[in-house]
Structure 1
Amino acid sequence: MRKGGQVQRVSADDLALGTAVAQAQDGDEAAFEVLYRSVQPGLHGYLCGIVGEDAEDVAAAAWREIARELPRFRGDGHGFRGWTASIARRHARGHLRRRGASHRTTGSSWPPPAMDHLAHTLPGATLPTETAQALIAQLPLAQAEVVLLRHVICLDEPTIARVMGRPSPVVRLLARRGTRSLARLLGAGDVTHGVARALGEPT
């Protein structure tokens, strides 16, 4: 499949997700459970990075809308991930507006207690969730969102651009800056995978 001159690779997970979406739209409750188990870890990880300890409440509100609007969704498995991310993002940003965006951080001290040890671990080591949240909280919101959408929800660049309503070159720049900022904060060459796992990336 080609889009915008690029080959889009469809993973087996997204193929299975697309099948479950179609079945859930036909009223199959077991298929909806498959959707939830497949998508919720990434959505929850994204929301942990954006709204911290309020992630559960925001995710619940997002899933109520997802369930209500599911019959209207049109697309494949990857498109479903992007669609649910858009819904979660809208709820997260509304939550931040209500409580004040300046309170986006999770309340963890900086640097977090594990930071001294982590600074000397190998790149890609598993991080405590609190540490991953504290790292993400140091980024400007737009950079944090791109990193989370890419590495936690596992969206590609064009989908992230649609979710955020930004041009792809801007998304690419934000991703590069966010990743570099995380690497500087942790003192490691590649921390995005570790952050993703800590915030709930499916394994």
Structure 2
Amino acid sequence: MTARQGASGESFASVLAAAQAGASWACTRLWNDHSPAVAAFAAARGSREPDDLTSEVFLAVFDRLPQFRGDLAAFRSFVFSIAYRRLVDELRMRGRRGETVELIAEDDPRRASSAEDEALASLGDQRVIALLRALPSDQRDVMQLRIVADLTVEQISVVLGKRPAAVKALQRRALERLRKKFGDTRTPAGPSSDSD
């Protein structure tokens, strides 16, 4: 099975043609193949409702699908261009309205957390997201599209409206900044290698 084929072996071109003709199974296939990456990107970039944003993105994708021309790489760029614009809209709207966050008892900072809660909070995806959030906005966008959305430099340049050389430079600067955070250790929070 190639990257251009789905789980059942249909080529992207045939799935796209069927979706453009209105076949619900093909639209479902496009959703299943691409929505997880869009939702992950939206969550990593700070969307309060990544699933809702993903739904909005695909409503726009399916609305514009009859006019779309291109291969799988062009389709991913098309999808993430819409996702990026919707996310920017959400962040701008929140900025104008101000932040309101529902108080959840488990998240109350006055509550003493258990050692298990602290250990779980320091592991996994949240740590990566925190590292990426520490980057400047343009570097963070590039790294999240590269890591979470698994887009190529060329696809990211389309999404962000930047030249590929500029995307490569942003990626290089982001990686250098992250390396400095890690220093001589394998993890940012890990012990120093000369503490033995």
Please tell me the residue identity of whatever aligns with 1:131.
R
Partner Cα distance (2:121, 2:163) in 1: 37
Partner Cα distance (1:184, 1:61) in 2: 38
The within-5 A match list for 1:158-173 is: 158-173=154-169
Matched, 1:152 2:152: no
SS at match of 1:88: helix
Higher relative contact order (CA 8 A, sep 6+): 1
Q: Quick check: which has more Rg, 1 or 2?
A: 2
Structure 1 match to 2:136 = 140
Runs of 4+ in 1 over 6 A off after TM superposition: 188-191
Deviation at 1:92, TM superposition (A): 0.3
Match of 1:177 among 143, 163, 173: 173
Structure 2 match to 1:200 = none
Where do 5+ consecutive residues of structure 2 fail to align? Answer: 6-10, 100-106, 110-116, 189-196
Structure 2 match to 1:68 = 63
Partner Cα distance (1:73, 1:189) in 2: 44
Match of 2:17 among 3, 19, 22: 22
Deviation at 1:114, TM superposition (A): 4.7
Question: TM (normalized to structure 1)?
Answer: 0.70
Question: TM (normalized to structure 2)?
Answer: 0.72
Cα 1:138–1:65 change in 2 (3 A) is: same
Q: How many residues align?
A: 166
Match of 2:3 among 1, 6, 13: 13
Q: Deviations over 1:156-203 (max 9, x none)?
A: 112211111111111001111222333444566699xxxxxxxxxxxx
SS at match of 1:14: coil
Q: CA RMSD in A?
A: 3.1
Q: Deviations over 1:113-168 (max 9, x none)?
A: 459966xxxxxxxx2x3223222211112111111212222221122111111111
